[in-house]
Structure 1
Amino acid sequence: MYVLVPAILALMATGAVAHDHDDMSWTEKIKNVVVLVEENRSFDTFAGGLSYSRDIDGLLHTKYCNPANVTVPDSELVCAKAIANNVAPDDPNHGISGVNMEVLGTYHPDEEAVDKSLEKETMMGFVTEQASTYKTVNLTRAAEAINYYAQDHIPVFAAMAENFVLFDRWFAAVPGPTNPNRAYLTSGTSHGHGRNDVSFNIAALPQRSIFQQLSEAGIEWINYQNSTTDPMPSPPTGFNPDALFYNWTLTSGKWKTNIKPIGDFYADAKAGKLPPFTYINPECCSYDSFHPPSPISTGEGFIKGIYEALRGSPQWNETLFILTFDEHGGFGDHVPPPVGVPAGDDLTYTELSPDGKNMTFDFKRVGIRVPTLVISPWVEKGVIEHKGQNHGKEYTHTSIAAFIAKLWGLDNLTPRTAWSSTFEHLITDKFRDDAPATLPDPVSF
């Protein structure tokens, strides 16, 4: 009998043998968490055209239109169509005041009224803001802010969604740009930052992050990054990888040991040497991040490569892979975000709105829906996950830190993290051996 053991072990390593681990807790099944945060696409724009399930709250069964000018009664309607370009011609406004216009139809919402009701969140100002930002009366051009992709435009993401768990009610953490959202995702707050200011590029954020938290608990992590510049050049020339937002990462020396180029990720995955927590930054923002002008097709190629590296890794059987997008990038969505949520701290942010007046934001509203997947041999195939299961809370970027806290017995970083719904209930007792080893190739269109 002993001569069969190597063959059985080989089959298990490739995932070809079904496993039944009813006696294992979910925390024993997941030993490696991998997080990839892409850029600047709303749920409706990117995933609203998915057709494999009628249960998806997208645009195939919802007519979504914006007035040409949300401030003018009876303005001409512009409706979303599945004709979004592979390369977006414009980069829509996704500053906080611009998002106010997109979601609320004004640069200066009455915050108290918004906290009491969803009625003002009409989601009707995307075309208006696009036309204003680019000073155009061309409604075909302005409509690009709400147009979306058909399923055959995104075969890689569609295959991942069909085979694992798609969240159709996962919200960005901040109704604003990239770095405040990435800070909330990795620390539960942006420490009052509402724009991509220089603080992120010089490791100036003082708060405790998941990276510091993991190190304090003796849990290894690596932030793999695909930047075209080295971390911390002097002077800074581009976006830092997210772990290097924080002063602790700089002063502890972890920026030298725990931030590595993306090529090391592929090598470590192949060798089975990924740490318990892997965090991946794409480049920003021209070829694989999905951020305009990154082509959708090259972004698809990037996420295909990450998935296939994980699927072929000896660590696959104990891996949970989270793919999300940092924020909506100014692209439209028809679902109003939750309001009246806990902020990460008591700090506020003020900016000058396009109308020349100051706008102050208290971080008690989350951002717009973004496409999010949870991928693992321990989740069911083709699940559409809606609202969070934990006490009526919601899924948002801080759900990742909250999940990690439960997985490894850590504390919640902030009130926002403590509020966020987690998703351990999606981890089942059945190991799946049918996850695809390869995904479809991207398409150009």
Structure 2
Amino acid sequence: MAAVKRVIVFLQENKTTDFYFPTLADWGAQVADNGGLRTTAPDFDQPHDRNAWVHYRMGDYPAERMQLDNDQLIPYYSWLAKTFVFSDHHFGSGSNSTPGHMLAIGGQMPTLKNPPFVGPHPVWNLPSIFSVAEKAGVSWAAFPDQDGYPTKFYTTLTEAPGNANLHPPSQFIPMAKGGTLPDICYVWSPAGYDEHPPFTSAPDYLTKGQGLVWQRVQAVIDGGGWDETVFILTWDDWGGYADSVPTPAIETVPDALHPDGFPIIGGSRIPLLMFGGAVPQAIDSEWHSHASIPKTICDLLGLGTFGVPRVDEAPSLAQLVQPGLGRPVPPAPGSAITQPTPPSPRPTPVEPKPWPGPLGQPLPALVTLDGSSVPAPTDGVVRKSPPKAPVAPPVAPVAPPA
């Protein structure tokens, strides 16, 4: 029986469950049907910072309600979601990119906004899945984007010896094919391949993002790692897209409109897929946040206690993994994909159990590695008025055949 020896986390950008995986409703996932699935990717960004999220949850900002035809636009992801575990009650933070990534890395958010992506930026001495792995003697690597995002915000990842385990994203495929990947890998994508809506027109950005993840998974298969690897694929934040299922109001922070606090965890639902040779087919209906990602890794690889209550008390997905199951490998890149036949009759979505912990708690101060004091962040600016929804650029006409 092949034991699970490795966990690989792929973190892409800006999606909600309703927006990205509507056809999973046929498999019993709790997904809205707003009618009329879009067959082209939206080629523009949406407001999705803390201000947008708060006004969306207040009800005075509608967010974008579009839904994509995932079977057509992201057929590989659709195949994975239907063949392995699709979590339809996973969620991130009620803000944008950096809080989401840091919640997935270390279960904490020292900021509620995006620090500068280039140039001077803050660095925090916080525990992460990598510092926990190092302490447990488990090998690890991070593959941040072309600017070192988001690992550059962690002290232990910006100086020796930890920075020796950081690699450019281009190195993942050769390491995977060569069978030299460590036990824990967090993998980001360079600009243009992270599925973030483009700042200048690039209609193929979803195809490119899915394609890179597809090649990366195939590289692990080619290197002989399929049966011993658990893959987790998720997205950093909600991206400004509407979602029909409210998440538990677990932790709050004050703002100009809500001096007594407004939910920050949970934020919007965000899709999460877990797959690999030891992963069965299932719709996972239980609530869990990005903090459950490091918790699951700790449980699967025996890392012990993480040291951050939000992680140590998080629901785990490890119980879904069945070593030795021998699930089939996905189609190879470039293959025509035939979607699995959905069950008949359509399963009724399963309601999640109530969140097991307390609700409405103030966001706590952060746990640090050196014992220094880092208060809960309050830097997510919330304005009196909601943001203005962007105007979609005109769709370029399709040229007639020559």
Q: TM-score range by the shorter chain?
A: 0.7 to 0.9
**How far apart, CA to CA, are the structure 1 residues paired with 2:66 and 2:230?**
32
- Structure 1 residues 2-401: aligned runs within 5 Å: 21=1, 29-50=3-24, 53-59=26-32, 62=33, 64=34, 81-83=36-38, 85-86=40-41, 88-106=42-60, 125-127=61-63, 145-150=64-69, 151-172=71-92, 174-191=93-110, 193-198=111-116, 202=121, 204-227=123-146, 229=147, 240-255=148-163, 257-284=164-191, 287-293=192-198, 295-341=205-251, 348=253, 350=255, 365-380=265-280, 382-387=281-286, 394-401=287-294
Aligned to 1:409: 303
- TM-score, with length taken from structure 1: 0.68
**How far apart, CA to CA, are the structure 2 residues paired with 1:359 and 1:181?**
23
Aligned to 1:5: none
Describe the shift of the 1:158–1:438 C-alpha distance in structure 2 as closer, same or farther (beyond 3 A). Answer: same
Describe the shift of the 1:305–1:429 C-alpha distance in structure 2 as closer, same or farther (beyond 3 A). Answer: closer
What amino acid is the match of 1:101?
Answer: H
Deviation (angstroms), 1:223 = 0.8
Q: What is the root-mean-square deviation in Å for CA atoms of aligned residues?
A: 2.7
Aligned to 2:362: none
Aligned to 2:365: none
2:186 aligned counterpart, secondary structure? strand
**How far apart, CA to CA, are the structure 1 residues paired with 2:269 and 2:122?**
28
**How far apart, CA to CA, are the structure 1 residues paired with 2:261 and 2:116?**
19
2:95–2:237: 8 Å Cα contact kept in structure 1?
yes
Deviation (angstroms), 1:319 = 0.4
**How far apart, CA to CA, are the structure 2 residues paired with 1:29 and 1:188?**
26
What amino acid is the match of 1:30?
Answer: V
1:126 aligned counterpart, secondary structure? coil
Describe the shift of the 1:171–1:316 C-alpha distance in structure 2 as closer, same or farther (beyond 3 A). Answer: same
**How far apart, CA to CA, are the structure 2 residues paired with 1:412 and 1:149?**
37
**How far apart, CA to CA, are the structure 2 residues paired with 1:81 and 1:196?**
33
What amino acid is the match of 1:38?
Answer: Q
User: How many matched pairs?
Assistant: 330
**How far apart, CA to CA, are the structure 1 residues paired with 2:229 and 2:30?**
28
1:405–1:411: 8 Å Cα contact kept in structure 2?
yes
1:297–1:442: 8 Å Cα contact kept in structure 2?
no
- TM-score, with length taken from structure 2: 0.75
**How far apart, CA to CA, are the structure 2 residues paired with 1:404 and 1:433?**
20
Q: Deviations over 1:215-267 (max 9, x none)?
A: 1222211112342x4xxxxxxxxxx3332211122233422x11111222111
1:37 aligned counterpart, secondary structure? strand
**How far apart, CA to CA, are the structure 2 residues paired with 1:210 and 1:56?**
29
Runs of 4+ residues deviating >6 angstroms = 357-360
Aligned to 1:134: none
Among the aligned pairs, what percent are the same residue? Answer: 22
Look at both structures and tell me which one has the larger radius of gyration over its CA atoms. Answer: 1
Deviation (angstroms), 1:176 = 0.5
1:324 aligned counterpart, secondary structure? strand
**How far apart, CA to CA, are the structure 1 residues paired with 2:144 and 2:246?**
32
Describe the shift of the 1:411–1:290 C-alpha distance in structure 2 as closer, same or farther (beyond 3 A). Answer: same
Give the structure with the larger helix fraction: 1
Aligned to 1:130: none
Describe the shift of the 1:100–1:202 C-alpha distance in structure 2 as closer, same or farther (beyond 3 A). Answer: closer
Question: Runs of 5+ in structure 2 lacking a partner?
Answer: 338-397
What amino acid is the match of 1:158?
Answer: S
